[in-house]
Amino acid sequence: MNGDPTLERIAQGNGLALCATGSWTARFAPVLEQMVAEAERLTGSRPDIFIDVSQVSKLDTFGAWLIERLRRSLAHGGVEASIAGLSANYSSLVDEVRRVKATAVVDTTSMTITGVLDQIGRNVAGFGTTLIGLIDMLGAVLAAVGRVVIHPSGFRLTSTVHHLEQVCWRAVPIVLLITFLIGCIISQQGIFHFRKFGADIFVVDMLGVLVLREIGVLLVAIMVAGRSGSAYTAELGSMKMREEIDALRTMGFDPIEVLVLPRMLALIIALPILAFLGAMAALVGGGLVANFYGGVDPEAFMLRLRDAISIDHFIVGIVKAPVMAAVIGIVACVEGLAVEGSAESLGQHTTSSVVQGIFFVIVMDGVFAIFFASIGM
Amino acid sequence: MAPEIPDAIIRVRDISVRFGATKVLDGLNLDVKRGEILGFVGPSGAGKSVLTRTIIGLVPKVSGSIEVFGIDLDAANAAARRGVERRWGILFQQGALFSSLTVRQNIQFPVREYLNVSQRLLDEITVAKLGMVGLLPEVAGRFPSELSGGMIKRVALARALALDPELVFLDEPTSGLDPIGAGDFDELVRTLQRTLGLTVFMVTHDLDSLYTACDRIAVLGNGKIIAAGSMADMQASEHPWLRAYFHGKRARAVMG
């Protein structure tokens, strides 16, 4: 019953019979396609051709279509081939296939040089659109803040606290661990190189200034962009995909007020706290390494630290944190709300949320450095 | 207890499935005849989808055996299982189309994986399958998010039929469709069953589907098959749930 399919050419006087046998099914599709192509080529222009399918034991859409393809190609060459011996079981299938219009399915995704250049051009032009999107979101968030200030009952405290737990409380262990390790590394490297000049103790100056002004907040902001920015984008993106955001809107709620504002606020509260904890952990890590590796005892370390740094250093660092949090939050929410229907789109926007978040954090840090240098802090 | 059917394409024996402490299926037996359209009904939450997902191997069972095409799925090795999976098609309740692929790529995906055929044949078969489920070739380039609910079901059916399976599972194919669309879909299933010689296992709540499309109806309740038989058998049954279901207000409207 499942015999291999064949297609024989039998000359009959002036005409030609094409005898199909065996199982014309999807399983044998590659073989069948070759046989049909060969038959099309070798049949030539005989005036009288019929396709005998009485020996076909099994037929499915693939087989029926290939027979139909053979018939059409013969018809194209000016020969009207008739199909003989079709069993009643399969006649409706053959009729169905005969109705198929020979429309070419055009593949739109082609990989060419112009296509690549086209994509690069669109991406560059898209950067402007991204900036406008961010400013637009900033405006929408500020408007929502205004509304909440006028009607404090619209503020969603529960949601804010929930997000605060997610982005702040649960982030504490990993932030402490990483900043502690970075503090250790900075201290070790400082001692290693300063020792050549006999200036071991200056490692405390370097550690204090670097951690409090720059590394602490920058490192924590990058971690938060990767950890919470991506989570925000994925959450909002999947809500967008399932039309949950449309549902909110039709119920008369503003998605910015309900979804974006609590998340932004949680992030703006969380990042200074995390930056502070991170800076402390880095100082502890650096102090421990200075003690055990550099032989700077804790009293000397603390004394030197008090001389080396002032409250200004700490303020310069911590002032940046809420601004960076706002940038991360806005980027994440814009990307989340830009997700379209597919899983691929969700992935792309989550990636770009993290990449853009980190990029803008570093740009902001540079802008702050110029600003503080100008005002002499 | 379902009667023994000699040429059963699905043979389910004494299946039990639990989720935690809840017994969803409890010693269930069911046979599906080759070439029939079996309508599978039961109250919401009775485990209709669970049974379907157990047969296709997505839900683990506690005990019992399942034979599909005469092959015991527990005893089968990976190659034999793959052979069985190639011979059935499944239409999930929400369509489960791959959202990042176009309609054309969705339909071609199983074919490309299992058969080594030319792109030309793939494209021609795609157009043929789209035609069979009543869609124009123009939708081939669209993404699932650009389709209406009815079109998603049709494309999902075309994908389920892509490899010309012998057995098709339909999980609530007409839910979420308008009555005319649902009627067309029933007609479509009937036509395809005739043209392709399919066996159809259809979970449904749609009384119209049961009347117009199904050869036989099986009813699930308390983790077992309460009754199986023709529409006439169902209407003659004295079981309280069956009476409520087949003699309720909606049923009378359907029967006219």
Among residues B134, B164, B194, which one ends one of the domains?
Answer: B164
Section A235-251 average pLDDT: 88
For B:169-198, CB contacts with A below 8 A are 191, 194-197
E strand intervals along chain B? 8-19, 22-33, 37-41, 63-68, 71-72, 88-91, 167-171, 199-203, 216-221, 224-229
Among residues B164, B181, B214, which one ends one of the domains?
Answer: B164
Tokens 């095409």 belong to residue: B69
Section A72-98 average pLDDT: 77
Tokens 């299926």 belong to residue: B25
Are the C-beta atoms of residues B228 and B217 closer than 8 Å to each other? yes
Residue B21 belongs to domain spanning: 1-87+167-256
- Among A98-102, B8-12, B79-83, B153-157, which is the least confidently predicted range? A98-102
Among residues B164, B180, B206, which one ends one of the domains?
Answer: B164
**Could you report the per-residue pLDDT of A317-359, keeping only the tens digit for each?**
999 999 999 999 999 999 999 998 788 889 999 999 999 999 9
**Residues B3 and B106 grouped into a single domain:** no
**Could you report the per-residue pLDDT of A37-57, keeping only the tens digit for each?**
887 777 766 667 777 877 777
Q: How confident is the model at residue A163 (pLDDT cuts 50, 70, 90)?
A: very high
pLDDT(A2) > 70: no
* Residues B140, A105: C-beta atoms closer than 8 Å: yes
Q: Does B104 touch chain A (CB under 8 A)?
A: yes
Q: Does A250 touch chain B (CB under 8 A)?
A: no
Q: Listing from the earlier edge strand, what are the strands of the sheet with B71-72?
A: B22-33, B8-19, B63-68, B71-72
**pLDDT reported for residue A210:** 92
Q: Which of A91, A105, A344 to mutate to test the interface with B (most CBs of B within 10 A)?
A: A105
**Mean residue pLDDT across chain A:** 87
A6-98 has CATH 3.30.750.24 classification: yes
**Residues B176 and B65 grouped into a single domain:** yes
Three-state DSSP class for residue B229: strand
Phi, psi of A184 (to 5 degrees): -60, -45
Choose from A20-24, A348-352, B66-70 the range with maximum mean pLDDT: A348-352
pLDDT(A121) > 80: yes
Q: Which residues contact B244 (CB under 8 A, 6 or more apart)?
A: none
* Residues B131, A100: C-beta atoms closer than 8 Å: yes
Q: How confident is the model at residue A61 (pLDDT cuts 50, 70, 90)?
A: confident
Q: Listing from the earlier edge strand, what are the strands of the sheet with B167-171?
A: B88-91, B167-171, B199-203, B37-41, B216-221, B224-229
Q: How confident is the model at residue A1 (pLDDT cuts 50, 70, 90)?
A: very low
Rounded to whole angstroms, how far apart are CA atoms A74 and B219? 52
Q: Which residue of B has its CA nearest to A36?
A: B121
**ipTM tops 0.85:** no
Q: How confident is the model at residue B59 (pLDDT cuts 50, 70, 90)?
A: confident
Section A17-25 average pLDDT: 80
Q: Which of B34, B98, B100, B161 to mutate to test the interface with A (most CBs of A within 10 A)?
A: B100
Print the SS3 string covering B89-118.
Answer: EEECCCCCCCCCCCHHHHHHHHHHHHCCCC
Are the C-beta atoms of residues B33 and B69 closer than 8 Å to each other? no
Task: With CA atoms as reference, report the closest residue to A289 among A361, A372, A177, A182.
Answer: A182
Which chain A residues have a beta carbon less than 8 Å from that of B188? Answer: none
Task: With CA atoms as reference, report the closest residue to A348 among A230, A269, A251, A216.
Answer: A230
**Residues B56 and B114 grouped into a single domain:** no
**pLDDT reported for residue B4:** 62
> Smallest CA–CA separation between B130 and chain A, in Å?
9
**Residues B178 and B229 grouped into a single domain:** yes
pLDDT(B87) > 90: no
Three-state DSSP class for residue B248: coil
Rounded to whole angstroms, how far apart are CA atoms A6 and A94? 19
Section A6-15 average pLDDT: 75
Q: How confident is the model at residue A24 (pLDDT cuts 50, 70, 90)?
A: confident
Q: How confident is the model at residue B252 (pLDDT cuts 50, 70, 90)?
A: low
Burial class (CB in 10 A: 0-12, 13-18, 19+), A236: buried
pLDDT(B229) > 60: yes
**pLDDT reported for residue A178:** 96
* Residues A60, B196: C-beta atoms closer than 8 Å: yes
Q: Which of B100, B164, B194 sits opposite A26 (nearest CB)?
A: B164
Q: Does A326 touch chain B (CB under 8 A)?
A: no
**pLDDT reported for residue A4:** 81
Residues forming a β-bridge with A357: none
pLDDT(A276) > 70: yes
Instruction: Kindly give the pairing relationship between strand B8-19 and strand B22-33.
Output: antiparallel
Rounded to whole angstroms, how far apart are CA atoms B78 and B139? 36
pLDDT(A217) > 90: yes
pLDDT(A138) > 90: yes
Instruction: Kindly give the pairing relationship between strand B71-72 and strand B63-68.
Output: antiparallel
Q: Does B126 touch chain A (CB under 8 A)?
A: yes
* Residues A33, B129: C-beta atoms closer than 8 Å: no
Higher-confidence residue of A207 and A344: namely: A207
* Residues B132, A93: C-beta atoms closer than 8 Å: no
**pLDDT reported for residue A359:** 95
Are the C-beta atoms of residues A197 and A298 closer than 8 Å to each other? no
**Could you report the per-residue pLDDT of A106-115, keeping only the tens digit for each?**
555 567 888 8
Are the C-beta atoms of residues B168 and B200 closer than 8 Å to each other? yes
Burial class (CB in 10 A: 0-12, 13-18, 19+), A17: middle
**pLDDT reported for residue B5:** 65
Q: Return residue ranges of chain A for CATH 3.30.750.24.
A: 6-98
Task: With CA atoms as reference, report the closest residue to A303 among A186, A208, A172, A196.
Answer: A208
Are the C-beta atoms of residues A189 and A292 closer than 8 Å to each other? no
Higher-confidence residue of A218 and B77: namely: A218
**pLDDT reported for residue B1:** 43
If one counts every other C-beta atom within 10 angstroms of the C-beta of residue B197, the result is 17
Which chain B residues have a beta carbon less than 8 Å from that of A62? Answer: 117, 121, 125, 164
**Could you report the per-residue pLDDT of A150-159, keeping only the tens digit for each?**
988 888 899 9
* Residues A103, B197: C-beta atoms closer than 8 Å: no
Q: Please tell me the total count of domains within chain B.
A: 2
Crossing angle between the packed helical segments A216-224 and A311-337, to the nearest 10 degrees? 20
**Could you report the per-residue pLDDT of B150-177, keeping only the tens digit for each?**
888 888 888 888 888 888 888 888 877 7
Q: How many CB pairs under 8 A join A and B?
A: 88
Longest dimension (CA), chain B: 57
**Residues B225 and B238 grouped into a single domain:** yes
Rounded to whole angstroms, how far apart are CA atoms B121 and B103? 16
Angle at CA A218, nearest 5°, toward A212 and A221? 125
Q: Does A65 touch chain B (CB under 8 A)?
A: yes
* Residues A340, B145: C-beta atoms closer than 8 Å: yes
**Residues B49 and B117 grouped into a single domain:** no
**Mean residue pLDDT across chain B:** 82
Section A229-255 average pLDDT: 89
- Among A275-279, B124-128, B231-235, which is the least confidently predicted range? B231-235
Q: Does A88 touch chain B (CB under 8 A)?
A: no
Side-chain half-sphere exposure of A226, counting CA atoms within 13 A: 8
**Residues B15 and B130 grouped into a single domain:** no
